[in-house]
Amino acid sequence: MVTQMSSKLDILGAEIDSAAESNNVSALTTLIEKCDSMIESEDTHLRPIVFFYKANIYSSLAALKSHEPEYTWSWQQSEKVIEILHLRRAVSDSKFSSLDSILQCKIYTNLGNSLNQFGRFIEAIKAWDCALNLIPNFAMALGNKGVGLADYARALYDYGNASVVVAHALDELKGAISKDALWDSGLHPEAEECFRVNYFSAEKHLERIEYRFEFDLNQWPLGDAKTEVEYRTWCLDNGLFLSPLNDVTKLSVSAQDILHLPSHTYSIDEEARFPNYFNIIKQEYVTARYMLFESLDYYSQHISDKGVLLMDGFDGAQFGYRIEQLKLAFRLAYSIFDKIALFLNDYYSIGLETRTVSFRKIWGQRKNKKIEINSCFAGSKNWPLRGLYYLSKDLFDDDFDDVALPEAKDLAGLRNRIEHRYLSLKDYEAPTKSTDIYSYISIDDFQLKTLRIMSMAREALVYLSLAMHREEETRDIDNEKLSFPIQSSPIERFYE
């Protein structure tokens, strides 16, 4: 049966290649239906490959539209959204790990490339790294990651951070054009030339600024107390510091929350309010992050748990300060997205009433089952801003159907249950059944989901800061109004 299915896949792959090469939209559309039929078949071993093939079909359809003048920077690329969805479905499929390593790398690389195109460069880095963890010399992952890092560096407002990111891009590009690089189906001359051009560009940049490659990026201590070192090490390992450097290294140079707003301008009669907005959001993120870290030790009793009488429901549910701390970390991290929407509403003068603002609705209005993007965003060539928009599509909302993150509904459902219903966390499996009012989830699973939301909140904050930087560059060129720039100084903490 598997052999027969494999033969069908070979035929399907050839048909997709033929239809793509001949720009046959009708044939590609028909092949989507063929993929759907194969996905529903009884044999699940090759299902992730069918997801991959279906993603390739939508990639081909998007490529055909890319010749249209406005498509590249269009904020409505449904083909690319569906491509990403099916690449993610392939990766999350239970049979994915049994695929050939090269095929796994191709899927991860394609996912990274598409995310990067949408401005989701932080999430793209993770996808490329997944490929490189499997095959460290996989050329397409190395090269595309190098190009993506170079683009990331160009989006930064801090030249010191940008130089470190460029240095890491150089390493990846060097690996991609080396003789030891592994090309999955023979050398791709156009891709290799692209990687080579970017390599020499990065090299010249670092030479021009006299970048010191011997500089020790691990010379800073992580703290004095054991707990502080453990906390900062955990943040580094999970890429949770608000520093672009934590996207390229886990060395101590990135163990700081240095990200803030770039220099920006106000009209003479405007209040300089945006740094304070960002202060609040940033502090809430850092607090949620530490709450998550502390909650990992949920077996230890907290002093507030002493003398608290609770009844055993014989369902495996656990209670205590650390459990509630974990729930609060999830809630606080999730709330950051709507606060970012409030920031955008003010900064771009969108004009929505404060009570109606949400991270989903800030981008436009839904009309005839489609989103009409707000004029201040539509067609914008602000790469990080577009990343912020496509990150919003990963957060489920009842008004939207084209969610690209497979587990988005679970994340939104958990938030709803924490806020408005009952959610218990269990440390062992028990014969319990969730209801509309009361539901269960394992502690370990909930920790992973909280970490996922935390990572997305961090990603959103980076995009917000860099989107503002790009917007300010544009306004500097176009703005004829009398204005004044502001670059905030670090606040003096009351306990310092």
Q: What is the DSSP string of 108-136?
A: HHHHHHHHHHTT-HHHHHHHHHHHHHH-T
pLDDT tens figures, 285-335 = 999 999 999 999 887 888 898 888 888 887 778 888 999 999 999 999 999
Let me know: does 325 contact 344? Beta carbons within 8 Å: no
What per-residue confidence (pLDDT) applies to 4?
56
Least confident of 202-206, 207-211, 267-271, 404-408: 404-408
Q: What is the tally of structural domains in the chain?
A: 3
Checking if the pLDDT of 48 tops 90, the result is: yes
> What is the mean predicted confidence (pLDDT) over 124-151?
98
For residues 238 and 236, what is the distance between their CA atoms, to the nearest angstrom?
A: 5
Tell whether 190 is covered by a domain.
yes
Helix and strand element counts for the chain (H, E): 15, 7
Q: Let me know whether 134 and 78 are in one domain.
A: no
Q: Let me know whether 287 and 392 are in one domain.
A: yes
- Residue predicted with more confidence, 1 or 36: 36
Q: Let me know whether 281 and 416 are in one domain.
A: yes
- Residue predicted with more confidence, 3 or 374: 374
Q: Let me know whether 372 and 304 are in one domain.
A: yes
> What is the mean predicted confidence (pLDDT) over 399-405?
56
Q: Let me know whether 92 and 144 are in one domain.
A: no
Tell whether 496 is covered by a domain.
no
Q: Let me know whether 71 and 137 are in one domain.
A: no
Checking if the pLDDT of 160 tops 80, the result is: yes
Tell whether 394 is covered by a domain.
yes
Least confident of 3-17, 249-263, 414-428: 3-17
**pLDDT bracket for residue 381 (50, 70, 90):** very high
Query: For 232, how many CA atoms within 13 A lie in the half-sphere containing its CB?
Result: 18
pLDDT tens figures, 446-463 = 999 999 999 999 999 999
Checking if the pLDDT of 3 tops 70, the result is: no
Question: For 492, which DSSP code?
Answer: P
Task: State how far the alpha carbon of 108 is from the alpha carbons of 31, 52, 127, 134, 136, in Å.
Answer: 22, 10, 5, 10, 13
Among 61, 83, 99, give the residue marking a domain's end.
Answer: 99
> What is the mean predicted confidence (pLDDT) over 416-435?
82
What per-residue confidence (pLDDT) applies to 400?
47
Q: Where are the beta strands (DSSP E) in 430-472?
A: 438-442
Q: Three-state DSSP class for 138? A: strand
**Amino acid at site 64:** L
- CB proximity list for 37: less than 8 A, separation 6 or greater: none
Q: Let me know whether 75 and 141 are in one domain.
A: no
What per-residue confidence (pLDDT) applies to 135?
98
**pLDDT bracket for residue 171 (50, 70, 90):** very high
Q: Let me know whether 82 and 201 are in one domain.
A: no
pLDDT tens figures, 480-495 = 555 566 666 666 654 4
Q: Let me know whether 288 and 165 are in one domain.
A: no
Checking if the pLDDT of 469 tops 80, the result is: yes
Q: Let me know whether 127 and 26 are in one domain.
A: no
Q: Let me know whether 24 and 86 are in one domain.
A: yes
Tell whether 115 is covered by a domain.
no
Task: Sort residue 314 into left (φ over 0), alpha (ψ -120 to 50) or beta.
Answer: left
For residues 51 and 95, what is the distance between their CA atoms, to the nearest angstrom?
A: 12
**pLDDT bracket for residue 475 (50, 70, 90):** confident
Q: Which of 259, 262, 260 lies closest to 245 in space, CA to CA?
A: 259
For residues 228 and 282, what is the distance between their CA atoms, to the nearest angstrom?
A: 19
Sign of the four-CA dihedral 213, 217, 219, 220: positive
Query: What is the percent of the chain where pLDDT is above 70?
Result: 92
Tell whether 236 is covered by a domain.
no
Checking if the pLDDT of 397 tops 80, the result is: no
- pLDDT winner (highest mean) among 297-301, 350-354, 413-417: 350-354
Tell whether 42 is covered by a domain.
yes
Q: Let me know whether 287 and 196 are in one domain.
A: no
> What is the mean predicted confidence (pLDDT) over 14-24?
90
pLDDT tens figures, 89-119 = 999 999 999 999 999 999 999 999 999 999 9
Instruction: Sort 287 into a burial class: Cβ within 10 Å, 0-12 / 13-18 / 19+.
Output: middle
Is the pTM higher than 0.85?
Answer: yes
What per-residue confidence (pLDDT) applies to 7?
78
Structural domain harbouring 80: 1-99
What per-residue confidence (pLDDT) applies to 478?
63
Instruction: Sort 174 into a burial class: Cβ within 10 Å, 0-12 / 13-18 / 19+.
Output: middle
Tell whether 110 is covered by a domain.
no
For residues 44 and 368, what is the distance between their CA atoms, to the nearest angstrom?
A: 36
Block residue for tokens 């009398």: 482
What per-residue confidence (pLDDT) applies to 1?
46
Let me know: does 168 contact 251? Beta carbons within 8 Å: no
Instruction: Sort 271 into a burial class: Cβ within 10 Å, 0-12 / 13-18 / 19+.
Output: exposed
CA-derived radius of gyration, the chain: 24
What per-residue confidence (pLDDT) applies to 138?
98
C-alpha 308, offset from chain centre: 40
What per-residue confidence (pLDDT) applies to 286?
99
Tell whether 136 is covered by a domain.
yes
